[in-house]
Structure 1
Amino acid sequence: MLTIKTGMSPSGSPPLTALYRDLAAGLHQQMYFWGKDAEHSEGNLFVRTGFQKRPSTGLKGTSCYRLPWSNGAIELHGSHAGWLSEEGGMLFIRPIRRCVRWCSATPPVPGKYPKDCYSGRADEVLQRLTRPFLDWWLAHEKEVQRLTSGTYRESCHRLFKKLPRSRAWLRPESATRWVIGLRDCPAELPRARRFEEAR
């Protein structure tokens, strides 16, 4: 797998740090979509695709979702999302809008993210730990297409754009291609804001 350093590469491709800022922006939008998936009119799409739902231990009135995945587990909550294994994993922490390396095999208590439990450095370790999460994200989008109408995800995007102070990211089809690029060939991936221009 191609990797890039956190500095600008000789080819002029974006540093990994910049791509992870884009990923965080995309996940901020995507978590809104996943909230819609949890309350879908035909049933919770996470439960329908095998997730275990449990009450949050941190934020009252909220739920956590867990799915065994790639020798670890996908962890979803309104304040975080990621993949965790015995060696830790990758976590998007929504309140700080950052993708981090979570340094514990124990999932965080929603709403509590001690700084000594994660590293914000965008490097090859974080890139490796992010891959299973991106694999799941792409697989989930295929399941969403299978279980819903063809316009469902676009309607989620339209609703997100209408929210006060929302910053809409790429449209769903473009977002999927960008995530594939980050997973498979980040050295050739443009920043999200230039992604459509680069087609």
Structure 2
Amino acid sequence: MRWAGLSAADVRTVEALFDQQMWCWGCDVRRGEGNLLLEYGGKRLPPAEPRLRSGYRFAVDPAYALTLWGWGLWVAAEGLGSLFMRRARFEIVWCASAHLAPRAWCERDLAGLLVISKLPDKRARRLLHTAFTWIADYESWIADRFGCSYRALTLAAYPQRGRCKNLLTADRIALAWRELGEKIRLSVFNQLEK
């Protein structure tokens, strides 16, 4: 099956890598020496209720906004719509309208999304490329700031490491996201040529 320019093996890699990435971000938030998502430029979004967790919003560039929660990632841009990557039961959902600052504290707050499995729209693919590239840039920043040792320690504590066939080593995470993003970018370019 082809999905947004990715092979079935790539899709399995994205699913495993995204769960691994979500684990890493959680560790980065709880880091004793300071929250790395804030240090990277994220704005903490305090939850509406104490029992809920914070979100983090990033201005990817003037046109794009990216929001992280413990349960997923949201990226949006005017003219491209909004895209959500769900952590549990991995899935990517997209809607044509752009919601740059969703007020959500749980997944059901993101009602009205169109579920898609093949990302047929080039706008959705551009958003996915942006998300993958942003993740790659973040992981490159982590490697530049700490070397591979910090992320290696994070991954050593990852509870799924024994069951996950697609677990990457710390020195490969940024490159893997960048390669996946490039495949998505090329699928958008190829779609425009048709």
- Normalised by the size of structure 2, how large is the TM-score? 0.75
Q: CA RMSD in A?
A: 3.0
Structure 2 distance, partners of 1:16, 1:59, is 40
Q: Which residue of 154, 164, 167 corresponds with 1:167? A: 164
Structure 1 segments of 4+ aligned residues over 4 angstroms from their partners: 162-166
TM-aligned CA distance change 1:24 to 1:59, over 3 Å: farther
Tell whether the 8 Å contact from 2:129 to 2:184 is kept in structure 1 after alignment: no
Give the deviation of 1:123 after TM superposition.
2.8
Structure 2 distance, partners of 1:129, 1:32, is 22
Tell whether the 8 Å contact from 2:148 to 2:171 is kept in structure 1 after alignment: no
TM-aligned CA distance change 1:121 to 1:159, over 3 Å: same
Provide the residue aligned with 2:23 in structure 1: 32
SS at match of 1:16: coil
- Identical positions, percent: 21
Deviates more, 1:163-172 or 1:30-39: 163-172
Give the deviation of 1:32 after TM superposition.
0.2
TM-aligned CA distance change 1:49 to 1:178, over 3 Å: closer
Q: Which residue of 158, 180, 183 corresponds with 1:182? A: 180
Gaps of 5+ in 1: 8-13, 189-199
TM-aligned CA distance change 1:102 to 1:154, over 3 Å: farther
Q: Which residue of 71, 76, 85 corresponds with 1:79? A: 71
Give the deviation of 1:183 after TM superposition.
1.6
Provide the residue aligned with 2:148 in structure 1: 150
TM-aligned CA distance change 1:68 to 1:159, over 3 Å: same
Q: Does residue 16 in structure 1 map to residue 12 in structure 2? A: no
Gaps of 5+ in 2: 187-194
Q: Which residue of 82, 86, 89 corresponds with 1:89? A: 82
| Aligned residues between the structures | 177
Q: Does residue 62 in structure 1 map to residue 60 in structure 2? A: no
Structure 2 distance, partners of 1:186, 1:131, is 6
